[in-house]
Amino acid sequence: MVFILTEKKSRGSDMTISRNIDYSLYFVLESPLCIHDPLFTVNEALAGGSGIIQLRDKDASYEEKLLIGREIMKLCRKFDAVFIVNDSLELALELSADGIHVGKDDESIESIRSKIGDKLIGYSPVSIDDAISAEQSGADYLGAGAVFPTESKRDIGSAHGIEYVREMVKSVKIPVVGIGGINHENAGLVKAAGAAGIAVITAISRETDPRKAAMELKKIFR
């Protein structure tokens, strides 16, 4: 699903542009979970149709994330995709990323907005009320999950199920992206719940052919 985001062309400018944000396939890079070279995996995910790449790599040093982030940014520009940094506002700003994804324990959305301007802010709510509050605070999209049991994102708690996604979609107007344990077999359920897209890690990173895996996931949201 593609949403139109109106944003400033530059900070302090009155000129605005409309940008198509394709949330249908959102790839979250965790380098240790890739069976191929991480940058190769990112390239193949983009070639397969991913419209958003998030650099997560929680265990990497700042310098390591800076180095790989610069290369991911180049790939995202090549494929006209969106580049998001997880958690670190400093890193997002230094890389001139398209946005940042945060959670309940991170800096407030209002504070981030004051520093990041019109760039994208994604948020992982812990409840439906938290999702509503995040929208009111200025979040651009929400990550709903974990939808299904998952080993790759243990920090987002136990699985909430499809109804959680459905209820969140009904409760907010901004895009909702399902995350957690999503693969080719169950992605259709997330779409049926009204999600704008799916965020995946191992459904691409652990596949022998990550481009083909991305293409198959992308087809589900067409």
Element (H, E) at 91: helix 89-94
In order of 15, 171, 201, the CA distances from 34 in angstroms are 41, 35, 9
| DSSP label of 56 | -
Catalytic (active-site) positions: 56, 124, 153
Beta strand segments in the chain, E: 2-8, 16-22, 25-29, 52-55, 82-86, 99-103, 120-124, 141-145, 176-179, 197-200
CA–CA–CA angle 85, 89, 95 (5° rounding):
60
Q: At what angle do helices 128-137 and 109-116 cross, to 10 degrees?
A: 30
